Amino acid sequence: MSYRLTRTDRIFGEINLPGDKSISHRAVMAGAIANGVTRAENVLDSDDCNYTIGAFRAMGVDIKKEKSFTIINGNGLKGLLKPKGPIFLGNSGTSMRILPGILAGQDFEATLTADTGLSKRPMKRVTEPLSMMGVDIKAEGGEYPPIVIKGGDVRPVDYTMRVPSAQIKSAILFAGLFAAGVTRVRERFKSRDHTERMLRYFGADIKVSGRNVFIKGGRGLKAKDVHVPADISSASFFLAAGAMISGSRVRVNDVGINPTRAGIITVLKKMGSRVRIINRKNVFEPVADIEMRPSELHGIVIDEAMIPSVIDELPIIFVLAAIAKGRTVIRGVNELRVKETDRIVSMTGNLKAMGAEIEPVGDKIIIEGVKRLKGADLKSYDDHRTCMAMAIASLAADQDSSIDDIKCVSKSFPGFFEVLNGLKGK
């Protein structure tokens, strides 16, 4: 059923958003294999994170929710139990790519299955390095889910990342917990470091030197209390709206501003937006409140080295570029083709329907800003970030739009439209 997307003259308000999806996954994972009870506050209640919770419950971990807390009674590093059957992970790429690293050190065989969409996403990028660590791991046809992992002895590895991916890096680092020796991961471009921070917080012997991460196996994790900050990827949609729409003022509270993840702030500033970071604090992740007011935006160049820090925000950056003055060039975008959908196709098609001038050229996107977008009939492509980005684009259009389906936002932000509608026209 299609959903009406109404334009607005301004958005205004102060909002508190759900927990960061990436950090929520990792808090549950670390807590499940730690010794003791982890109390994780503000874990994101979304489809993806609930698949991770369900996976550990299937392996004998006692996890319960009490108000804003997720209580995890850890089984210890090698204490997971053989599941009774395959573990279904829905469309959660984070679960599918990181869990094999944890299963690598368990004393049983497990099968990870997925829905149709995730079953088409490449997994050789995780099975290959884990195989180099001596893990018995196989994917369907060598490339796609389901994945079968038979845990056992894990060898340390010195691995150079072929593509920037925090998920693959995380799988190797978790596997490194079980190895007899030091595992090293080398990155060409620094990807988000939530796993490094989380493992260090839980007591792992882990060190970072530039774009190299070292983890020494054999040390167990100790349960910790964790507060999950608001998700910068979720915040990016409202920050973009505040930057685009005249007369707006938006404040998002308690947002994670990890420098390997918060490239959207750098992009907004380079485009000329009035963004203000206040009330900074830090535990294991840096957190702050972010205020946004509108300004005239201008086109910029985003190089390949910056892509890992904005990979999830690229759809909304495309929207910002579409109404910015001048040309925006974004290089190194091919990783968007292997997300929940081909986001180059989804965003290009939708923005062209709204009158934007956007073209993919090789591994880059070129966008010439237009004065105003047009209302249009849009498609979600069953992709949460495409859907939310187009909802924001519709706010600044000359007339209302519609989108074919919005159920996909439950993957990362079930309450997105409620929050957005609460900000309109205040």
Q: Write out the catalytic residue numbers.
A: 312
Across 91-125, b (16+ Cβ under 10 Å) vs e yields bbbbbbbbbbbbbbbbeeebbbbbeebbeebebeb
Here the tokens at position 28 are 């549950």
**DSSP letter (8 states) at residue 165:** -
- H or E stretch including 122? none
Query: How far is residue 58 from each of residues 25, 61, 118, measured CA to CA in Å?
Result: 16, 7, 20
Written as six digits, the tokens of 379 are: 């498609």
3-class SS at 2?
coil
Q: Give the span between the Cα atoms of 200 and 190, in whole angstroms.
A: 18
Instruction: Find the radius of gyration of the CA atoms of the chain.
Output: 21
Preceding peptide of 146 cis, ω within 30° = yes
Nearest to 55 by CA among 106, 111, 104, 105: 111
| Alpha-carbon gap, residue 284 to 42, rounded angstroms | 15
How many angstroms separate the CA atoms of 92 and 411, rounded?
8
SS3 49: helix
Of 24, 50, 12, 3, the residue nearest 238 (C-alpha)? 12
Cα–Cα dist 196/66, whole Å: 27
Please tell me the distance from the alpha carbon of residue 103 to that of residue 123, in angstroms, as a whole number: 15
Closest CA to 178 of 154, 199, 158, 200: 154
